[in-house]
């Protein structure tokens, strides 16, 4: 670990500047996205009136719109973006696979199936949705590991196993919708992924997982950096590889599950954001993780604002926007990987 610390201390000045710039730009875009999301909608609130209104110096109607409708939705979206971006970044670091993502390797599908089972079969127990989503995510991870394990975890095998598991759990979700068609109305928008109708209770539900995820990710960044050097090198640096992978995998599953429970099946955030940020910060997880969290919050908040106003008065689920952005990016990564081979 001392080697990693020396490497981070001897970082070249231009690279360090780029990393700080990436974090600063991300924070600036996040602030712009938060302001745009708060001011946009059926009732427009001028950006310079947002803070005075929240402090009680605006009209009662604007205060109710901001405090009870837009602000909890914005915060829930930002927290979800942080969780998905961190989960994707951690999974890509564990597997050393640019295609790793909570959705692609089946984690989101497992969490989604468990959450849907609770919402449809046990509607009075929705408080257990985050716990159920976490259990479903871990079941999916266990299946993926079992199917892809052969003298170690092979990235391509894991992606293929994840696609199969995601398809299987997706089929199970469809079956639930068919057999309980009278109960699925409340889950349709959830399946598409979005934040319509989110309240302070959703933000309070996701916040503890986000705080745990941020702390765990920052503490685990040294492990991720060591794993990039190879298992033998990581062991020589004092890292227990098996334990580090298990803890980081549990952390990624927890982050993905909490995001799914709040936002539904919101895909591609964990795939797109780490790659966007890696172009600016490089592969040092000490910078990549916090920058990904900021950019993830900015991307989801901005996409949610766009989804609300682009086709007004019709609101498009933000998951649709993320699919249009993420699918071409995934194909680009796939084509790029095939060229290297």
Q: What integer best gives the mean pLDDT of the chain? A: 84
Specify if 34 maps to a domain: no
Q: How many domains does the chain have?
A: 1
- Whether residue 30 lies inside any domain: the answer is no
Classify residue 290 as left (phi > 0), alpha (psi -120 to 50) or beta. Answer: alpha
The 8-class DSSP code of residue 314 comes to S
Asked whether residue 283 carries a pLDDT value surpassing 70, the answer given is yes
The predicted pLDDT at position 126 comes to 74
Residue with the two structure tokens 């790659």: 275
* Residue 8 or 136, more confident: 136
Closest CA to 265 of 208, 187, 186, 327: 187
Q: Is residue 28 part of a domain?
A: no
Q: What is the pLDDT of residue 70?
A: 93
- Would residue 5 be called left, alpha or beta, if left means φ above 0 and alpha means ψ between -120 and 50 degrees? alpha
**Domain for residue 149, yes or no?**
yes
- Domain that includes residue 129, residue range: 47-333
| Residue 37 within any structural domain of the chain | no
Whether 90 is covered by a domain: the verdict is yes
Residue 92 has φ and ψ, to the nearest 5°, of -65, -35
Q: What percent of the chain has pLDDT over 70?
A: 91
Report the first-to-last Cα separation within the chain, whole angstroms. 32
Q: Which of 110, 104, 259, 105 is nearest to 190 (CA)?
A: 259
Residues 154-164 have a mean pLDDT of 79
Categorize the per-residue pLDDT at 78 as very low, low, confident or very high, splitting at 50, 70 and 90.
Answer: very high
In a domain, 12, yes or no: no
Question: pTM of the prediction?
Answer: 0.86
Residue 39 pLDDT = 92
- Is the pLDDT at 42 greater than 60, yes or no? yes
7 located within any domain: no
**pLDDT band at residue 155, thresholds of 50, 70 and 90?**
low
Nearest to 136 by CA among 249, 266, 254: 254
Contact 193, 267 (CB under 8 A): yes
pLDDT of residue 12: 57
- Quick one: average pLDDT of 321-338? 73
Residue 153 is part of a domain; what is its CATH number? 1.10.3470.10
């Amino acid at each position: 670990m001392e080697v990693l610390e020396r490497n981070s201390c001897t970082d070249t000045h231009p690279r360090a500047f780029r990393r700080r710039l990436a974090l600063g730009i991300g924070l600036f875009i996040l602030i712009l996205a938060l302001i745009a999301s708060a001011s946009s909608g059926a009732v427009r609130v001028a950006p310079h009136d947002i803070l005075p209104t929240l402090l009680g110096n605006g009209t009662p109607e604007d205060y109710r719109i901001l405090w009870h409708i837009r602000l909890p939705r914005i915060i829930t979206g930002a927290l979800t973006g942080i969780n998905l971006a961190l989960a994707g970044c951690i999974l890509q670091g564990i597997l050393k696979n640019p295609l790793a993502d909570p959705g692609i390797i089946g984690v989101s599908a497992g969490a989604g199936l468990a959450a849907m089972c609770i919402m449809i079969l046990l509607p009075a127990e929705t408080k257990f949705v985050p716990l159920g989503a976490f259990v479903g995510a871990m079941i999916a991870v266990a299946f993926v590991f079992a199917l892809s394990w052969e003298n170690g975890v092979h990235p391509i095998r894991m992606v293929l196993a994840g696609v199969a598991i995601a398809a299987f759990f997706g089929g199970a979700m469809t079956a639930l919708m068919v057999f309980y068609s009278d109960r699925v109305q409340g889950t349709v928008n959830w399946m598409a992924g979005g934040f319509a109708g989110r309240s302070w209770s959703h933000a309070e539900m996701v916040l503890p997982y986000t705080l745990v995820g941020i702390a765990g990710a920052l503490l685990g960044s040294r492990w991720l950096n060591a794993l990039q050097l190879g298992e033998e090198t990581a062991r020589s640096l004092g890292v227990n590889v098996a334990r580090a992978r298990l803890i980081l995998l549990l952390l990624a599953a927890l982050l993905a599950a909490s995001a799914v429970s709040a936002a539904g099946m919101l895909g591609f955030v964990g795939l797109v954001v780490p790659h966007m940020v890696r172009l600016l910060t490089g592969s040092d997880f000490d910078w990549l993780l916090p920058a990904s969290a900021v950019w993830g919050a900015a991307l989801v908040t901005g996409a949610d604002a766009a989804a609300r106003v682009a086709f007004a008065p019709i609101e498009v689920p933000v998951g649709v926007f993320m699919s249009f952005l993420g699918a071409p990016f995934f194909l680009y990564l796939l084509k790029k990987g095939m060229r290297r081979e």
